[in-house]
């Protein structure tokens, strides 16, 4: 599998915000969002065996023994779904570990939903600059949500109030409960984050959604 980086930090956004975690960032993405903050993961990384990646993660968990969350992110991690399934199974066999996988919603999650603890689904909107036909949610996700309620969360990057039209459409497609939907500002600086957080909060209140901060921007960490 192609790995961009493995590191320890704190989950900066979404339902696990604030939790210390090991991050496994997988290489490759099938989209090219204008504001992507991990473009380096599209191409850069090292080919490693699943066993070697399991070993790297266990080594880090040996050092940071109180950490019990693995966040798998990208890029688009589901592009390497088969290897990811093997990795999660191998890790869970030897360690009590929560596993959270982040995805852009365009790739079938298959059986991965059965073995992870949370799937954070982040469909991309028009402001991503990606043509609609490329960023459309995979139909298989709709079936997963009903079956795995409480395990799948939607997370939207918001630029303007107009985004709510698209968000409503996707939330309806999923039949998602408002409490499983997170809105978070599109921002690359602290100033931009603070400015848009007010807008995002107003929109979330209208719909009963949740608001997510972006701690990695506030704290300047990965």
Contacts to ligand SF4 by CB under 6 A: 29, 31-33, 36, 38, 74-76, 104, 124
How far apart are CB 68 and ligand SF4 at their closest, in Å? 25
- Identity of the residue, 54 or 187, whose beta carbon is nearer to ligand SF4 in the bound complex: 187
How far apart are CB 197 and ligand SF4 at their closest, in Å? 19
- Identity of the residue, 29 or 87, whose beta carbon is nearer to ligand SF4 in the bound complex: 29
Q: Which helix (H) or strand (E) holds 91?
A: helix 81-94
Instruction: Identify the sign of the CA torsion 39, 47, 105, 137.
Output: positive
- Identity of the residue, 134 or 190, whose beta carbon is nearer to ligand SF4 in the bound complex: 134
How far apart are CB 122 and ligand SF4 at their closest, in Å? 7
- Identity of the residue, 61 or 119, whose beta carbon is nearer to ligand SF4 in the bound complex: 119
User: Beta strands 152-158 and 46-47: pairing type?
Assistant: unpaired
How far apart are CB 125 and ligand SF4 at their closest, in Å? 11
- Contact status, residue 109 vs residue 151, Cβ threshold 8 Å: no
36-39: Cβ within 8 A, 24+ apart: 37/188, 38/4, 38/73, 38/74, 38/75
d(CA 19, CA 171): 26
């Amino acid at each position: 599998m192609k790995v961009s980086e493995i590191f320890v930090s704190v989950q900066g956004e979404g339902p696990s915000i604030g939790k210390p975690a090991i991050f496994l960032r997988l290489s490759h993405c099938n989209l090219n969002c204008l504001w992507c903050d991990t473009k380096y993961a599209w191409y850069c990384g090292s080919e490693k065996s699943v066993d070697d990646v399991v070993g790297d993660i266990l080594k880090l968990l040996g050092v940071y023994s109180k950490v019990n969350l693995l966040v798998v992110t990208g890029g688009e991690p589901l592009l390497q779904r088969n290897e990811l399934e093997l990795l999660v199974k191998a890790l869970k066999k030897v360690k009590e570990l929560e596993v959270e996988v982040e995805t852009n919603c365009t790739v079938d999650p298959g059986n991965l939903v059965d073995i992870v603890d949370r799937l954070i689904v982040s469909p991309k909107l028009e402001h991503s600059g990606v043509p609609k036909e490329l960023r459309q949610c995979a139909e298989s996700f709709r079936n997963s949500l009903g079956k795995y309620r409480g395990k799948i969360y939607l997370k939207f990057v918001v630029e303007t109030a107009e985004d709510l039209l698209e968000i409503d459409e996707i939330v309806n497609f999923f039949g998602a409960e408002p409490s499983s939907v997170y809105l978070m500002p599109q921002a690359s600086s602290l100033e931009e984050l603070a400015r848009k957080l007010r807008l995002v909060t107003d929109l979330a209140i209208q719909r009963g959604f949740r608001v997510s901060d972006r701690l990695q921007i506030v704290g300047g960490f990965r």
